[in-house]
């Protein structure tokens, strides 16, 4: 039903750089794609409406931190890879394998990036607000 592990490279704004042609980075992508396929299994509809919690052991946690250094983020590479509005990344020694939980995002819809990452209805999210400020400054 889902094209597991195939769709991610075709998703918007995500082109693997040439430096990714490297075995340890391949391992890293395998972990991220495994999380992505869990999100796909859990969410039949628009995954951008969701916030994901990713729990895993310290080894995989250390690798995934490359994609998201913060515990919680709405604009990390990990949110791009999982195609969700927010990711909470947690190290859990009791997790023998990577566990993904999803809940509807608490954020409000951002018209600009079409994610649920805004703190206020009808306003762009913080990331888009920064972009818009830069644009405003450039055309002033």
Angstrom distances, CA of residue 137 to CA of 12, 23, 69, 110, 124: 27, 43, 29, 21, 17
Q: Are strands 72-73 and 86-91 parallel, antiparallel or unpaired?
A: antiparallel
Site for Zn ion contains 128 (CB under 5 A): yes
Task: Kindly indicate which of the ranges 7-15, 21-29, 72-80, 120-128 contains the residues binding Zn ion, using the contact rule CB under 5 A.
Answer: 120-128
Buried/exposed 68-84: b ≥16 CB within 10 Å, e otherwise: beeeebbbbbbbbbbbb
State the minimum distance, in angstroms, from the CB of residue 92 to Zn ion. 30
Kindly tell me which of 50 and 128 has the beta carbon lying closer to Zn ion. 128
- 84 binding Zn ion? (CB under 5 A): no
- How far apart are CB 129 and Zn ion at their closest, in Å? 8
Select from 8, 107, 113, 116 the one that contacts Zn ion (CB under 5 A): 113
């Amino acid at each position: 039903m889902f094209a597991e592990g195939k769709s991610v490279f075709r998703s918007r704004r995500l082109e693997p750089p040439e430096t990714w042609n490297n075995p340890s980075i391949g391992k890293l992508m395998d972990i991220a794609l495994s999380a992505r396929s869990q999100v796909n299994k859990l969410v039949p509809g628009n995954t951008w409406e969701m916030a994901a919690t990713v729990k895993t052991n310290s080894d995989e946690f250390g690798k995934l931190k490359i994609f998201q250094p913060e515990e919680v983020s709405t604009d990390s590479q990990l949110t791009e890879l999982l195609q969700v509005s927010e990711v909470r990344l947690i190290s859990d020694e009791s997790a023998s394998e990577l566990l993904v939980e999803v809940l509807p995002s608490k954020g409000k819809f951002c018209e600009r990036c079409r994610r649920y990452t805004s703190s206020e209805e009808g306003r762009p999210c913080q990331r888009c607000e920064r972009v818009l400020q830069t644009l405003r400054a450039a055309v002033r």
